C-alpha cells in the first residue's frame, strides 16, 4: 500500500478538503507539512460542515492527525479551532493529535507586522491573509523564531527574545510603533504553553514508527503550487514551499515516504487576492462561475476571481510537483454552459508560449489561447461512475488530462464525500 501526498495544483481553493477527508477515512495518519492557519478546508460529513484552517482534515474522522515541523503554528488560533470542533462533537486528544516540538510559533507581533506592511504597501500589496504567516517564516529562516519546544523553557528565553526583539523593534520603529512589550509577550506564552505542550512531541519518531508498521500516511498540503515561494507567481505567493517535495522536509520523513502525489485540480480556475490570472473572466460568465461554485475564501471570506481552465498552468504544476494523478473537482459547476473553454497556450509579444514565464511583467502580459468545447445540458452533480456523466463532460475530462499530461485519478461531482468517481486508487499505487 502506498502513502499519498495531496497538493493543490492551482492557486489553492481547489477542493482539497473533501478529497483529503475522503482519503483520510482510509489512512492511518494525516500530516500537515507546510503553511499555517491561512489554509482553509471545508469538509461536509453528512449534515455537518467543518471549517478547518490549521488542523489536519483527518481529525474529524478520529484519524491520527499531526502538525509537522514545516507548519508555522499560531497557538491561540489552534486553541480556538480545537474548541470550535469539540463544540461540534469532534474528540481531540493526545491519542489522535500531535504537534512537532520543533514547529515555529506565530506570535502576536507577527500578526501586527503583517498588517502594518500591507497597510503601507499601497499598490504593492501582496494580498496576504494578515495572519502573520510570512513574518513567522522570516523569523524561522532568520534563526530567531520561538518554537513549540521553547514553551517548556520560558525561564531561559531571554537570549532568544534579545535576537527576536532586536529585529522586530527596528521594523516597528520604521512604522512609528513602540518596541515589543516583552513582558506581555512572555505572559501570553506562559498562559498558552500548557495547552500546546500537552500535544508536543518529536513527531518524526512517531511517523517513522507508523511507517515501519506498514500503515498508510496521508500528507496534506495547503494552498497550491502556483503559490509556492519558489515556483509560484512571485511575489504574489505564500511564504512556504507548497510543492510535494516539502512533505519530506516538513514532516521528518524522507522523500521516499511521499508515495502517490495527488494533485487537486478545479475544473475551472480561481484565485484570491492580487497577482496575474491569464484566464480571468470579469464578465457575466466569471460571475456565473463564482455564484455556482460558491467562490468565497474559507479563511478570509474574500470573493474569488474566476476564469476558464488553464491547462498550461496545471501542466506546469504537475511537472514541478511530480504529480502521479489528479483529482478533478467542481465539474458540476460547468453544467449547463453552452460552451466551455480551455487555455492551451499563451501569446506574449507575438510569441507563442507553452509555459508560464517567471517575470511578473511577462505573467501580467500573456494572452490566453483557447480551445472551445460544446457544453453539456445534463447534470454531473452527484455522479459516481462514468456512466452517470454526459458524453460531452467525459470528452472535457479526457481533453484536460491530455493537455496537462497527467491522468485523472478521481473526479469529484459535489461537496458530498461519496459523490466521487474513482479511476485510480492513490493508496494502491
| 234, three cell numbers | 512571485
Rounded distance between C-alpha atoms, residue 78 and residue 98, angstroms: 12
Rounded to the nearest 10 degrees, the angle between the axes of helix 311-321 and helix 391-404 is 50
| 225, three cell numbers | 503550487
**Catalytic positions:** 13, 41
Verify cis geometry, omega within 30 degrees of 0, for the bond prior to 235. yes
Pairing mode of beta strands 217-220, 200-201: unpaired
Three-state SS at 142: coil
Strands (E), 319-376: 325-329, 339-348, 351-353, 367-374
Pairing mode of beta strands 48-52, 41-45: antiparallel
* 351 CB-near residues (< 8 Å, 6+ apart): none
Q: Within 13 Å and on the Cβ side, how many CA atoms surround 271?
A: 27
Rounded distance between C-alpha atoms, residue 290 and residue 292, angstroms: 6
> What are the percentages of helix, strand and coil residues in the chain, rounded to 5?
40, 20, 40
Report angle CA 417, 32, 241 to the nearest 5 degrees.
115
Contact 407, 401 (CB under 8 A): yes
Contact 165, 107 (CB under 8 A): no
* Ordered DSSP codes for 5-19: EEEESSSS-SSHHHH
* Partners of 374 in beta bridges: 339
* 268 CB-near residues (< 8 Å, 6+ apart): 289, 293, 306, 307, 308, 309, 330, 333, 334
Pairing mode of beta strands 29-32, 217-220: parallel
Strands (E), 375-417: 408-412
Contact 10, 314 (CB under 8 A): yes
- Return the closest-CA partner of residue 293 out of 316, 270, 274: 270
Three-state SS at 159: helix
Rounded to the nearest 10 degrees, the angle between the axes of helix 158-174 and helix 108-121 is 20
Amino acid at each position: 500500500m502506498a502513502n499519498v501526498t495531496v497538493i493543490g495544483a492551482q492557486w489553492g481553493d481547489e477542493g482539497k478538503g473533501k478529497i483529503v477527508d475522503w482519503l483520510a477515512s482510509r489512512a492511518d495518519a494525516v500530516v500537515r507539512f507546510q503553511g499555517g492557519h491561512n489554509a482553509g478546508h471545508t469538509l461536509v460529513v453528512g449534515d455537518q460542515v467543518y471549517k478547518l484552517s490549521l488542523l489536519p482534515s483527518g481529525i474529524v474522522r478520529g484519524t491520527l492527525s499531526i502538525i509537522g515541523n514545516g507548519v508555522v503554528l499560531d497557538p491561540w488560533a489552534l486553541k480556538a479551532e480545537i474548541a470550535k470542533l469539540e463544540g461540534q462533537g469532534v474528540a481531540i486528544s493526545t491519542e489522535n493529535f500531535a504537534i512537532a516540538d520543533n514547529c515555529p510559533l506565530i506570535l502576536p507581533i507577527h500578526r501586527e507586522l503583517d498588517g502594518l506592511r500591507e497597510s503601507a504597501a499601497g499598490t504593492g500589496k501582496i494580498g496576504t491573509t494578515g495572519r502573520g504567516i510570512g513574518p513567522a517564516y522570516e523569523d524561522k529562516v532568520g534563526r530567531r523564531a520561538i518554537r513549540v519546544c521553547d514553551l517548556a523553557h520560558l525561564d531561559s528565553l531571554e537570549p532568544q527574545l534579545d535576537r527576536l526583539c532586536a529585529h522586530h523593534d527596528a521594523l516597528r520603529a520604521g512604522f512609528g510603533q513602540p518596541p515589543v512589550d516583552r513582558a506581555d509577550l512572555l505572559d501570553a506564552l506562559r498562559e498558552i504553553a500548557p495547552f500546546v505542550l500537552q500535544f508536543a512531541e518529536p513527531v518524526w519518531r512517531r511517523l517513522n514508527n507508523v511507517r515501519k508498521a506498514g500503515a498508510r500516511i496521508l500528507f496534506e498540503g495547503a494552498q497550491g503550487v502556483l503559490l509556492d515561494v519558489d515556483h509560484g507567481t512571485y511575489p504574489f505567493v505564500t511564504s512556504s514551499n507548497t510543492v510535494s517535495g516539502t512533505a519530506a522536509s516538513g514532516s521528518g520523513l524522507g522523500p521516499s515516504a511521499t508515495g502517490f502525489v495527488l494533485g487537486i485540480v478545479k475544473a475551472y480556475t480561481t484565485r484570491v487576492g492580487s497577482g496575474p490570472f491569464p484566464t480571468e473572466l470579469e464578465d457575466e460568465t466569471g460571475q456565473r462561475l463564482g455564484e455556482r461554485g460558491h467562490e468565497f475564501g474559507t479563511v478570509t471570506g474574500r470573493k474569488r476571481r474566476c476564469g476558464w481552465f488553464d491547462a498550461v498552468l496545471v501542466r506546469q504544476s504537475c511537472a514541478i510537483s511530480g504529480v502521479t494523478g489528479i483529482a478533478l473537482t467542481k465539474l458540476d459547476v460547468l453544467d449547463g454552459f453552452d460552451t466551455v473553454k480551455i487555455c492551451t497556450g499563451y501569446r506574449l509579444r507575438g510569441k507563442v508560449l507553452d509555459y508560464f514565464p517567471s517575470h511578473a511583467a511577462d505573467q501580467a502580459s500573456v494572452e490566453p489561447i483557447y480551445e472551445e468545447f460544446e457544453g453539456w445540458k445534463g447534470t454531473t452533480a452527484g455522479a459516481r461512475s462514468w456512466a452517470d456523466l454526459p458524453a460531452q463532460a467525459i470528452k472535457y475530462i479526457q481533453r484536460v488530462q491530455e493537455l496537462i499530461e497527467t491522468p485523472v485519478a478521481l473526479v469529484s461531482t459535489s461537496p458530498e464525500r461519496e459523490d466521487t468517481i474513482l479511476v485510480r486508487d492513490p493508496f494502491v499505487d
